[in-house]
Amino acid sequence: MKKQFEVIVAGTGGFGSSCLYHLARRGVRVLGLDRFPTAHDRGSSHGATRIIRQAYFEHPDYVPLLLRAYGLWRELESVSGRKLMKICGLILAGPPSGEVVSGAKLAARLHGVSVEDVSARDFAGERAARFPGFRMPQGFAAVFEPAGGYLHVEDCVQTHIELALATGAEHRSDETIVSWESNGRTVRVRTESDEYEAAALILTPGAWASGLLQSLPEFPQLTVLRKTLHWHHVRSSVYDVSNGGTGFLFEMPGATIYGFPSLDGQTLKVAEHSGGETVSDPLHVDRTLKESDTQPIRHFLEEVMPDVDPACDHHAVCMYTMTPDGHFVVDRHSQHANVFYGAGFSGHGFKFTSVLGEALAELAIDGATKLPISFLSAGRFAL
């Protein structure tokens, strides 16, 4: 006998775990399915931290979603009693007319987000400087976003799942989805070990999205990229988050580099947002550290952060699932009215998991959402 639910969520990483939580808190009989254990390190939602920010240089239309996301993260902290989000500020730097600085200023101006212009003097090497430990490259401009910070990524996923289970959801890990089908009224999902039915299906499969959405005519071609996260020893306490250390994102020539303050007083995390090798099979990603991974990071640290050891202490590997335009796809399936999906989060999606989980839950239950997600529709690729 098939197991019956109101909604099935396929893939319970960052976005799927949030969907599960928002559905369960509304009293929906919901099942989450994932091929890996909760808060695993095989996809895109791991590595200790993810940046959260409001002056969104990628596109101003994201800002209203971010403002709601911040509120939902604080709400999740209140309900769970866990500290999930740390506001420590964020330095955004690059050429004055580059994407990062000009885009952040545009988003801030259109939506009233607070950003502060900072000068090269703020980055001087002296202890009296506002941002000791950083050097401003010649010709760069920079802004500081006080509301920037980071999320504890695995804790966020774990908390969404645990609260969903406590509110009545079911969750099955180590179950690989083989296929799904819909007749417009019910959806049937087959895994390697079982079969389930529901009134609606939400697909949030991360790097495996193409395999589960390949029949969708307007769905874009996705490219999965291998990305490395690096931890480096610090030689100074100026980077410590407890000592005023901030997050940072620099649009350097040839590479965009981002990172976090030191959480433990010993190391800090830094990574390249640009670049990345194409992954043909997400199940078999090369997780070794290569010279091509370390070179851009080393050059950045030597030029901008001289009190950080340029030799990598340890690393992790995750994946970006890229759309052709670098923006998300969140929509209803054009051929099956009871199937919804979120995919192609292009390496900047995790901060939105709280709010887009809410949006997808509303779509599955109410058929619509008041959240401003129309600019993320797959229809833009059909034009």
Active site residues: 46, 49-50, 269, 273, 318, 351
Residues near 75 by Cβ (< 8 Å), separated by ≥ 6? none
d(CA 186, CA 248): 47
6's tokens? 């109101």
d(CA 8, CA 349): 22
Burial class (CB in 10 A: 0-12, 13-18, 19+), 330: buried
d(CA 138, CA 136): 6
Report CA Rg, the chain.
21
Q: Taking a C-beta distance cutoff of 8 angstroms, is the pair 12, 39 a contact? A: no
Residues near 176 by Cβ (< 8 Å), separated by ≥ 6? 35, 191, 192
Residue given tokens 């993320």 in the structure block: 376
| DSSP tag of 273 | S
Q: Taking a C-beta distance cutoff of 8 angstroms, is the pair 21, 217 a contact? A: no
303's tokens? 């030029």
| DSSP tag of 37 | -
d(CA 351, CA 85): 10
3-state secondary structure of 225: strand
3-state secondary structure of 200: strand
Q: Taking a C-beta distance cutoff of 8 angstroms, is the pair 319, 13 a contact? A: no
336's tokens? 């099956």
| DSSP tag of 155 | H
d(CA 149, CA 200): 35
Half-sphere exposure of 197 (CA within 13 A, CB side): 9
d(CA 289, CA 302): 19
